[in-house]
Amino acid sequence: MTWQYYMNNPELRDYFKSLPVDVQKVLAESRVEIATLGELKQCAEHLMNQSG
């Protein structure tokens, strides 16, 4: 997925923008396919738990 994907998806945009910049970067650079808000939240929580 790319940063553009999240910005163009109204279902995901607000949550993505609320995430820390480092988490946004990892998600935008990853090859993980995220299609729903639930999937995005799950991935973001996992990343934040790893780094914290």
pLDDT at 1: 78
Q: Which residue has the higher pLDDT, 1 or 10?
A: 10
State mean pLDDT over 5-24: 96
The pTM assigned to this predicted structure is 0.86
Dist. CA 52–CA 13, nearest whole Å: 23
Share of the chain residues as helix, strand and coil, in percent rounded to the nearest 5 = 75, 0, 25
Computed over every residue of the chain, the mean pLDDT equals 93
**Residue 31's pLDDT band (boundaries 50, 70, 90)?**
confident
Range of the domain at 43: 3-51
Number of domains forming the structure of the chain: 1
